[in-house]
């Protein structure tokens, strides 16, 4: 239901849970949950949600005093819309009782498990898609499958329990920004299960389903000022509120266990046979430019995406990226004009109400870079097409994860490889040896590490960052002759 700013009643009777969601962050609550609520409102069904936090109790501790009800605030360019969300019936914190979460996932009423655990939550090598078997969390889960810590470990343990109970498996729907996210998740689950019990892996391979999907909605981090503004507008203190842009899109491969799913099409989701053109479009056009603006924009002193695209240098950089380095290597989804799609993205970036922090987007870059930027570079190299702007974005990431900005101020780098990457920039002042040191990180760069042309371009981009700074280097990219 849509609620006015001053009239926010308590939620009504909640739907019976049929979904468990792993990773109960702001994106799920601002995007996936709104589709689910709309689907239930349109078509009914027992598709309520039990949320599970895999690490911290912070979200549970904010939601519990509010009876798991929260406000989703739509940030239009000129006004705001407030929606009371009462889809979540319970929130569990996995480390407090792993067996309890496994039992909930194994309950027959649960037919769908959704995930937003971020790229690093899959404990895989982004360049290869394989499970990091030496990852501390995965190593723990192999040794203690009944008390897992990872999303993969919980999925396999719950599926094993369902198989032993003679039940059908649940569908597993990744909602994270990974290319072919369902196929990646399937491969990781089968690899983990196969190491524990080959019979279990064969059952999962035959009976379970892992649809791919593409999600799109900008969800900036909620600030103390946002909470205060909602109190002023609604009279309601909500420590778990989420903020989001008006736009939303969810494209889902229609492949569920026994065809059992919410009527998501009634909520506006696109149910398709092949998600890949949509996810490539979004990952490369939106996430690729978002990451570019995050690293270069942050280094240039821009705190938000809005601030960055308000700088004409970075607006032109985005336009060049789309026109000359991203769109030419994409196959558009049927009926989609990629140039118009890029223009719509720019308008979304310009929304003054969306204060999407460059620092927030810059998190976990070692996990995001392969699918957002490096894959596009690889395609351009195969087509013998230069991509100086994308290469500069990679150099911007390298400078960012060094831990210091252009003024020598320390950056709070949040990345699973932060300790390994910190200091490489300073330790290798020569651009060519600097490029070599980063390219040696095979879990990030994969096959690109062996491309001499890319190495030379990356060394040149590093040198220009040193000489001209992020904004000056971006301006020079614009000034080069177009291919």
Encode pLDDT of 184-214 as tens digits: 999 999 999 999 999 999 999 999 999 999 9
Work out the pLDDT band at 449, boundaries 50, 70, 90.
confident
Which pLDDT score is estimated for 6?
Answer: 37
**Cα(298)–Cα(412) distance, integer angstroms:** 12
Tokens of 110: 């649960």
Are 141 and 192 a contacting pair, CB within 8 Å?
A: yes
Tokens of 301: 């002193």
**Average pLDDT of the chain?**
94
**Cα(220)–Cα(245) distance, integer angstroms:** 9
Which pLDDT score is estimated for 2?
Answer: 41
Question: Is the confidence at residue 11, as pLDDT, over 90?
Answer: no
Parse the chain into domains and list their residue ranges. Answer: 2-272, 276-479
- Residues of the chain with pLDDT > 70: what percent? 96
Work out the pLDDT band at 447, boundaries 50, 70, 90.
confident
Residue 342: partners with Cβ closer than 8 Å, 6 or more residues away: 285, 319, 322, 323, 327
Question: Is the confidence at residue 475, as pLDDT, over 50?
Answer: yes
Task: State in words which class domain 276-479 has.
Answer: mainly alpha
Query: Same CATH fold, 276-479 and 2-272?
Result: no
Which pLDDT score is estimated for 450?
Answer: 83
Which pLDDT score is estimated for 479?
Answer: 47
Which pLDDT score is estimated for 359?
Answer: 96
Which pLDDT score is estimated for 7?
Answer: 43
- CA distances (Å), 323 to each of 47, 140, 222, 261, 439, in order? 42, 46, 33, 38, 27
Are 21 and 75 a contacting pair, CB within 8 Å?
A: no
- Residues of the chain with pLDDT > 90: what percent? 89
Q: What is the pLDDT of residues 144-157, one digit of tens each?
A: 999 999 999 999 99
CB atoms within 10 A of CB 335: 5
**Cα(32)–Cα(174) distance, integer angstroms:** 11
- CA distances (Å), 296 to each of 137, 305, 409, 445, 458, in order? 32, 11, 15, 19, 15
CATH of the structural domain 2-272, one choice from 3.40.630.180, 1.10.645.10, 3.40.50.720, 3.40.50.980: 3.40.50.720
Q: What is the pLDDT of residues 329-371, one digit of tens each?
A: 999 999 999 999 999 999 999 999 999 999 999 999 999 999 9
Residue 168: partners with Cβ closer than 8 Å, 6 or more residues away: 162, 207, 257, 258
Work out the pLDDT band at 478, boundaries 50, 70, 90.
low
Tell me the average pLDDT across 47-68.
96
Tokens of 403: 């831990």
Q: What is the pTM of this model?
A: 0.87
């Amino acid at each position: 239901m849509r609620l006015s700013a001053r009239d926010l009643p308590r939620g009504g009777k909640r739907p019976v849970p049929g979904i468990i969601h792993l990773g109960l962050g702001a994106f799920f609550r601002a995007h996936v949950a709104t589709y689910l609520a709309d689907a239930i409102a349109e078509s009914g069904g027992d598709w309520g949600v039990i949320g599970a936090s895999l690490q911290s109790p912070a979200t549970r501790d904010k939601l519990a005093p509010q009876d798991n009800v929260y406000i989703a605030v739509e940030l239009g360019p000129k006004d705001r819309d407030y929606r009371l969300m009462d889809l979540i019936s319970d929130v569990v914190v996995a480390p407090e009782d792993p067996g309890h979460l496994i039992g909930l996932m194994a309950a027959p009423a649960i037919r769908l498990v959704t995930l937003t655990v971020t790229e690093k939550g899959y404990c895989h090598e982004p360049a290869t898609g394989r499970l990091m078997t030496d990852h501390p969390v995965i190593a723990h889960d192999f040794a203690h499958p009944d008390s897992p810590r990872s999303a993969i470990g919980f999925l396999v343990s719950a599926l094993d329990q369902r198989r032993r109970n003679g039940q059908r498996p649940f569908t597993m729907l990744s909602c994270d920004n990974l290319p072919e996210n369902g196929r990646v998740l399937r491969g990781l689950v089968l690899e983990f299960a196969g190491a524990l019990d080959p019979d279990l892996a064969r059952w999962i391979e035959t009976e379970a389903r892992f649809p791919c999907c593409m999600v799109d909605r900008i969800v900036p981090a909620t600030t103390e000022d946002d909470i205060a503004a909602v109190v002023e507008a609604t009279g309601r203190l909500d420590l778990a509120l989420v903020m989001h842009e008006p736009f939303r899109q969810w494209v889902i491969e229609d492949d569920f266990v026994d065809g059992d799913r919410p009527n998501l099409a009634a909520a506006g989701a696109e149910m398709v046979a092949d998600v890949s053109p949509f996810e490539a479009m979004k990952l490369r056009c939106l996430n690729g430019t978002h990451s570019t603006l995050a690293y270069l924009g942050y280094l240039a002193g821009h705190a938000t995406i809005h601030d960055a695209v308000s700088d004409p240098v970075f607006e032109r950089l985005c336009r060049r990226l789309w026109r000359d380095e991203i769109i030419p290597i994409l196959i558009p989804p049927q009926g989609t004009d990629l140039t118009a799609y890029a223009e719509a993205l720019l308008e979304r970036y310009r929304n003054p109400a969306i204060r999407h922090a460059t620092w927030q987007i810059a998190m976990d870059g070692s996990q995001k870079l392969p699918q957002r930027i490096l894959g596009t570079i690889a395609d351009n190299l195969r087509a013998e097409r230069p991509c100086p702007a994308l290469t500069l974005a990679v150099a911007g990431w390298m400078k960012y994860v060094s831990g210091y900005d252009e003024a020598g101020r320390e950056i709070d780098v949040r990345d699973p490889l932060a300790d390994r990457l910190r200091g490489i920039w300073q330790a290798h002042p020569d651009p060519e040896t600097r490029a070599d040191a980063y390219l040696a990180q095979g879990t990030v760069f994969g096959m690109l590490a062996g491309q001499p042309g890319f190495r030379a371009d990356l060394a040149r981009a590093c040198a220009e960052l040193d000489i001209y700074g992020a904004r000056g280097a971006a301006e020079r990219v614009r000034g080069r002759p177009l291919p």
